[in-house]
Amino acid sequence: MVMEATDLAGVEKFLSRQQLLFIGGRWCESTSGETFPVLNPATGKVIAQVAKGGSADIDLAVKAARKAFCSDEWQKKITPADRGKLLWKWADLLEANFIELAHLETINNGMPIAIAQMALAESIKFVRYYSGMTAKIHGKAQHSKSGSNGGNALAYTIREPVGVVGQIIPWNGPILMAIWKMAPALAAGCSLVLKPDEKTPLTALWLGALAMEAGFPKGVINIVSGLGEEAGAALAAHSDIDKIAFTGSPEIGREIVKASAGNFKRVSLELGGKSPNIIFSDANLEIAIPTAVQSIFANQGQVCTAGSRLYVEANIFDRVVDTVVMITKGLKVGNGLNPDNHLGPLISNKQLSRVHQYVESGLQEGSKLITGGKQIGETGYFYEPTIFINCNSQMKIVQEEIFGPVLTIMPFESFDEVVQKSNNTTYGLAAGIWTNNIKKAHTLASYLQAGTVWINSYNVFDPTCPFGGFKQSGWGRECGQEGLDLYMETKTVMCTL
Ligand code: NAI
Ligand code: MG
């Protein structure tokens, strides 16, 4: 349900200020004094000037985070249960600022307001979930009888926070991505330096202000806006960062891994996907087809799990294609603040060109465009929802992550063929299966190389369920217990009896 924006005075006030870095509990300009402009992708207009943090600012933020991490306050005075209370309070404040935060998300990212509100509601759920885990972190005890000294020992494990964490997030879901990174790190007892994407730093800065209001000690949370190649690269390479968490492109994921080698910091990566969504002829098509449309065009396809490869059993192929196209033609594209619009703009002119280049490559490689394929208007970065058929597995549009509203639909004849085609990608983030045959669904789920497989649904997220990628979609799992494990070390203590 879309709520009415009744009071947006806070957003106006926020946008009227120059946005500063949040380091050691203080708001400050960048060391260089430089700023960068942030745009609304629906209008192409500058909506804010933001401090441009560089390596000197990252260094200050890491020092502040280290000091906070080692402080008696964070280590001793604030108990795990207190950490839970701080997170809960933070979630309350997200709720209290719900309308304004969602509005700011839409004017900075472009996403339809309903999606911004849904993502914020999920973010709040996510913080509350991790708030409930802080006092339940513990190791295991065991009687060790197989020791190399032949002895009898009492062994136990202790779970400790990994330390000072660097977190680099993308622009496609600025609030959700910030929360997915920050909440488990804070629950584990880490301190952190977050670098939001330079296209969408605004809501992360607001989250920082709310965390301060919730009462997190100074320096536990630091937010440094800045360019990827400057602030991001400095954070990834910093020798006093114990762990780096990244969501973004595989190219930069590779850079993060290289940069982490300096001090062998722990690394987790979420690098996107090219996810297959598979419809068998025995599926409930009334749900499968609209969900398939939604799975690729929600957030303009700028979703890591977007169902960008739709595989349809050959005997229903034409029927499914016709219905998908019919629903797609009814989608409205426009400013995300208008609740009637289903798709907003792409994030930037650069992303628009990238998407259009993929569309041109699809045409050059011989696939057939059946709807879309063009920019809409000249203001903002709007693009038509686009569909190709007559595609094969070698084509770039079938292999590469486009991160835009472009769907490829391909037929399959047999179970084995769709397994082979689905897995024929360097990615392995997600997959969808539509069938009413339970055995077929679960057998196929076991064969698919994907971190998440949805059966008779798509893009359902749950804070309790691990999320992440096989193959080149990344390393590690966020959400659930695994999401907390990313931010902890295990210590074994053995006492010979
Ligand atoms: P990107 O990977 O360049 O940006 C993601 C984050 O990394 C941003 O915070 C950016 O500032 C930072 N970054 C950039 N260069 C860096 C460096 N050298 N060192 C450290 N941090 C750095 O993604 P971009 O260029 O915005 O999008 C390009 C493509 O990446 C998209 O079209 C999409 O295919 C993919 N992507 C995937 C995402 C996912 O959810 N897995 C999210 C965003 C992009
Ligand atoms: Mg980039």
Q: Which helix H or strand E contains 473, and what residues bound it?
A: none
Distance CA 380, CA 474 (A): 32
Q: What is the mean pLDDT of residues 213-235?
A: 98
Q: Catalytic: 304?
A: yes
Q: Is the CB of 304 under 6 A from ligand 1?
A: yes
CA distances for 163 relative to 124, 190, 216, 231, angstroms: 24, 5, 16, 20
Q: Calculate how far, in angstroms, residue 98's C-alpha sits from the geometric centre of ligand 1.
A: 27
pLDDT of 372 higher than 50: yes
pLDDT of 1 higher than 80: no
Q: Calculate how far, in angstroms, residue 252's C-alpha sits from the geometric centre of ligand 2.
A: 7
How high is the pLDDT of residue 228?
Answer: 98
pLDDT of 458 higher than 70: yes
Question: Whose structure tokens read 């940069």?
Answer: 259
In 345-487 the beta strands, taken as DSSP E runs, fall at 368-371, 375-376, 382-383, 386-389, 406-412, 430-434, 452-455, 474-475
How high is the pLDDT of residue 6?
Answer: 57
Task: Note the pTM of the prediction, 2 decimals.
Answer: 0.98
pLDDT of 43 higher than 90: yes
Which residue blocks in 278-339 are alpha helix, DSSP H?
A: 285-297, 317-329
* Atom in ligand 1 nearest the alpha carbon of residue 347: 26
Q: Which of 202, 260, 212 is nearest to 475 (CA)?
A: 260
Q: Calculate how far, in angstroms, residue 439's C-alpha sits from the geometric centre of ligand 1.
A: 39
pLDDT of 395 higher than 90: yes
Q: Calculate how far, in angstroms, residue 200's C-alpha sits from the geometric centre of ligand 2.
A: 13
pLDDT for 167-207, tens place per residue? 999 999 999 999 999 999 999 999 999 999 999 999 999 99
pLDDT of 360 higher than 60: yes
Q: Is the CB of 248 under 6 A from ligand 1?
A: yes
Q: Is the CB of 270 under 6 A from ligand 1?
A: yes
pLDDT for 242-277, tens place per residue? 999 999 999 999 999 999 999 999 999 999 999 999
Q: Catalytic: 313?
A: no
Give the confidence band of 3 by pLDDT, cuts at 50, 70, 90: very low
Instruction: Identify which has the larger pLDDT, 4 or 450.
Output: 450
Q: Is 206 helix (H, G, I), strand (E, B) or coil?
A: helix
Average pLDDT of every residue of the chain: 97
Instruction: Using most ligand atoms within 8 A of CB, pick from 247, 249, 268, 303 the residue to mutate for ligand 1.
Output: 249
pLDDT for 147-158, tens place per residue? 998 889 999 999
Q: Is the CB of 403 under 6 A from ligand 1?
A: yes
How high is the pLDDT of residue 151?
Answer: 83
Give the confidence band of 92 by pLDDT, cuts at 50, 70, 90: very high
What is the share, in percent, of the chain residues with pLDDT greater than 70? 99
Domains and CATH numbers, the chain: 5-271 (3.40.605.10), 276-463 (3.40.309.10)
Q: Is the CB of 352 under 6 A from ligand 1?
A: no
Distance CA 222, CA 61 (A): 6
pLDDT for 276-329, tens place per residue? 999 999 999 999 999 999 999 999 999 999 999 999 999 999 999 999 999 999
